[in-house]
Chains A and B, each alone.
Chain A
Amino acid sequence: MIPRNLVYNRPETLAEAASAFAAAREEGLQPYYLAGGTEITTFARRGLIAPGALIDLKNVPECRQLGREDGELVFGAALTLNEIVGEGSFPLLAAAAKIVDNTVRNRLTLGGNIAGMLPYRETVLPFLLTAAEARLFGPEGEREVPLAEVFSRRLKPGPGEFLVQLRVPEAEASLPWFRRRRVKQSRLDYPLLTLCVLRAGEGIRLAVAGAFDAPVRSREAEEIVNEAGAPAADRAARAAGAFGLRVRDDQRASAEYREELLRGALEEAIRELGGEG
């Protein structure tokens, strides 16, 4: 059970949600925005967090939007991962959303995965490879900014702000794609490595989770992968070492092992998406 009492709010508009968050803070309660709740409920039960108030975003229509609008695909932050897997308009995202088990995917949300406390945040990878825009709402109202402005290793909204939607240009969502997810034991494990790749006109774009302490897109690695002429295996080996980040090294896998998984996955991606060599 969750030992501490809390206040539960179910707003129906963006403004109500932001007001409820501000009011809870004013009351001295620690507020959390709630979507699927898979992380909040389990972390609260274990005493890792102590929410004083929850603001449930599932009844705010903008947070549940899924579809096309003005040449963009719109993904509400409170959509469940199974809703995204089933819809499929952004194939790389549909593949990247196949994390955890089918039952948990009926609750775990896009926004919860991206804004949550666990370091993997795998569903952000496809968005990092596009000109995705993040729509946020907070005490100052609404703003829409390039995702890269508010996501660096983790989502960084302003005080009291929450993620409403991610929007992706339709043309980018249908680019050729590649994904490899490597785990230690069952396929439901947290990833040792997840590599997501899109092949755009200018070449391969790539982003990685699991190997480092946060999801990351690396332009340096992309430059090496897109070098003309060099053999795929050589480019993959050099790109794997070009992220400039410390590779995770723990009891589940050594840094050397993870780096080898990354190298192998990069080589596969180059070969599958038509890089020479």
Chain B
Amino acid sequence: MITYRGHAALKLSVNGEVREAVVRPADTLLHVLRDRLGLTGAKAGCENGDCGACTVLLDGKPVKSCMVLAVEVEGMEITTIEGLSDTPVQRAFLEEAGFQCGFCTPGFILNAHALLAAHPRPDRETIRDWLESNLCRCTGYEGIENAVASASAPRE
């Protein structure tokens, strides 16, 4: 059995690299990513599991990192927005103007990236079902949904 008390030196696999961080067992993954590892793409929004601005991928699945303790994810592959580069979803967000202020964008992009990995050709209902996990306070939902639909369409 593994036990952590006080402070723990964790090795976390983030964006394909092993990163070390000294954490309290009570530290959320969100705060460890931002404050210990300098990965500020995941945003602290509501910190209550509602807004999705802190979404990251754990073994390819989207999770809200404000509701996960860093000590829970040892051995799992963590993907943050810094780990994506020029993906079809990112290009589609640019082309379809899928963002306004940008605060929610990393969470939406990671969620959409996972969606397209699980369902390469999702219908609109599946897209809406997945995107319900994230809030955009600028209310730019149409552009976001169009971006995801566009990223899933065959390209010429």
Contact = CB atoms under 8 A, between A and B. Distances in A.
Given A1-B28, A103-B55, A9 B3 contact: yes
A37 B72 contact: yes
A79 to B, nearest CB: 14
B21 interface: no
Contacts of A104: 49, 64, 67, 133
B67 A42 contact: yes
A2 to B, nearest CB: 4
Interface in A4-57: 4-12, 16, 20, 34, 37-38, 41-42, 44-46, 54, 56
B1 A12 contact: yes
Contact of A56 (B6, B28, B55, B72): B72
Given A10-B1, A103-B133, A104-B49, A2 B63 contact: no
A6 B25 contact: yes
Interface residues of B, number: 35
A34 to B, nearest CB: 8
Contact of B129 (A10, A58, A102, A186): A102
A16 B2 CA distance: 10
Contacts of B67: 37-38, 41-42, 104, 107
Contacts of A188: 132
B72 A2 contact: no
Contact residue range for chain A? 35 or more
B148 interface: no
Interface in B49-89: 49, 52, 55, 58, 61-64, 66-69, 71-72
Contacts of A8: 3-5, 8, 25, 69, 71
B95 interface: no
Interface in B81-116: 111
A189 to B, nearest CB: 11
A270 B31 CA distance: 50
Contacts of A6: 25-26
A158 to B, nearest CB: 22
A10 B69 contact: no
Nearest to B130: A102
A101 interface: yes
Contacts of B62: 102-103, 106
A41 B6 contact: no
Interface of B: 1-6, 8, 24-28, 31, 47-49, 52, 55, 58, 61-64, 66-69, 71-72, 111, 129-130, 132-134
8 contacts: A5-B24, A5-B26, A6-B25, A8-B8, A37-B67, A37-B69, A44-B26, A103-B134
